Structure 1
């Protein structure tokens, strides 16, 4: 049995924790909401109320990390403030604040959930060898946080960069439905389903693939117009209307490394 701490038991972290427990692991899970503590406990998770801030961290952090061999960090940057300048480097500072506690704990392996936004909108086939060039503040801070963790010699870090997240209860088509003049009609989609997210994390742990980086995007890249029009029709939603103007975004994220290194096959039927 491996003891694993998951920082952030939200949309992905909670079902991930349940899957890891099903496989015989012991899981500590964190939340920032006191109301969620009974939910975590009811799922068999050891629940902890942990608030990670740029200048402070909850006293429960030591107990949350205690005796764990693996730490999974799955917290979003959340940089959509009214004044973006006030949010500069806040996420990075949170990770800086967390690292000394990880160093002083039993944790030897860290899995950091990042995003393909670290690559920006380069018009290329993107692989793990592509130099990141983030354009958004969120992407910039994720990349800085990745580097902070990877250069630390006290633990081994694997970076997992997910594409756009979808699931049974989460899909971009619900917000695009019925809208008009949407941009980038011919841009390829780079998506990953929650089920694949969880399974890939399982494989990284089971195969002990540390000190590495993986892009995680389904090998399925129809245009935005084709894909979201089809999904809206399937869900009987008003169809989105796209601008006929051509896009210069041709970015396709390759997940070939996941196939070759982890021998992982995506569940394309979920898409």
Structure 2
């Protein structure tokens, strides 16, 4: 029974761990506290309380990685902290937290690493985007994610695959509520780039089963209606107030394609219309 360690058993990591266990894997999972220990252990996941820190990092990482040839890092940057302008981002640096983690990985049995990233690394390009497109992030989280991607890919101690998810849809992330009731929303004609939790898990399972490593992959459902059409429809389906949009400023927005992922994994999206 192959063992996998999942750093971050949250919205994605917990159901992913359960899915991998159902496939016959043994899973170690981390959360930031002891409070979720019972939740994980009841699901058959060995629990490790690990909170990444910028300074004075001390956690049971060596035990968490022991006997695991595969590590999945599925934690969001959470850079904003208390300051919505990201002015405290460096004090809460996600890059530094991952840098603190890397020596533990290098000393561990981990041979393959899957890092969950975001299409935010592409910035605000107004074109069709694939994995060969330049990554020019404009947000602090996008900039730090890109730096971490480069850091991991350059490390020869393990093989890294980067998985860049679009906007996440699923339990507790109902698209109908994203923009419902909002006014003067920009970019009404820009395309949406989303992916359902079911496909997130399905893709990760395929990466592991097919041993697709040392790759960068976009993961976005091939369904790109306009923001106006999509979010209006979703609001109406839930009997919510549809958003209103600003048509005075021309719309701009990227279309993320996942053709490389579909080809390499022979993957068919299970939630194509979201």
> Which among 206, 210, 213 is matched to residue 207 of structure 1?
210
- Decide whether the 8 Å contact of 1:119 with 1:132 is kept in 2: yes
TM superposition shift of 1:270: 5.6
> Matched residues in 2 for 1:165 and 1:257: separation?
20
TM superposition shift of 1:264: 0.5
1:245 aligns with 2:248: yes
> Matched residues in 1 for 2:58 and 2:71: separation?
17
> Matched residues in 1 for 2:114 and 2:89: separation?
24
Unpaired segments of 5 or more residues in structure 2? none
TM superposition shift of 1:183: 1.1
1:13 aligns with 2:16: no
Report what 1:44 is aligned to.
44
Report what 2:201 is aligned to.
198
Report what 1:167 is aligned to.
170
TM superposition shift of 1:163: 0.3
Q: Secondary structure at the match of 1:39?
A: helix
> Matched residues in 2 for 1:172 and 1:133: separation?
26
TM-score relative to the length of structure 2: 0.96
TM superposition shift of 1:124: 1.2
TM superposition shift of 1:178: 1.2
**Superposition CA RMSD, Å:** 1.3
Q: Secondary structure at the match of 1:21?
A: helix
1:108 aligns with 2:111: yes
Q: Secondary structure at the match of 1:87?
A: coil
> Which among 82, 86, 89 is matched to residue 87 of structure 1?
89
Report what 1:222 is aligned to.
225
1:264 aligns with 2:270: no
| Structure 1 residues 122-201: aligned runs within 5 Å | 122-201=125-204
Q: Secondary structure at the match of 1:85?
A: coil
Q: Deviating runs (4+, > 4 A) in structure 1?
A: none
Unpaired segments of 5 or more residues in structure 1? none
- Describe the superposition over 1:3-47 as per-residue Cα deviations: whole angstroms up to 9, x where unpaired: 000000000000000000000000000000221111010111000
Tell me the number of residue pairs that the alignment of Structure 1 and Structure 2 aligns.
271
- Decide whether the 8 Å contact of 1:123 with 1:248 is kept in 2: no
> Cα 1:269–1:257, aligned 2, differ >3 Å: closer, same or farther?
closer
TM superposition shift of 1:268: 3.3
TM superposition shift of 1:154: 0.4
TM superposition shift of 1:235: 1.3
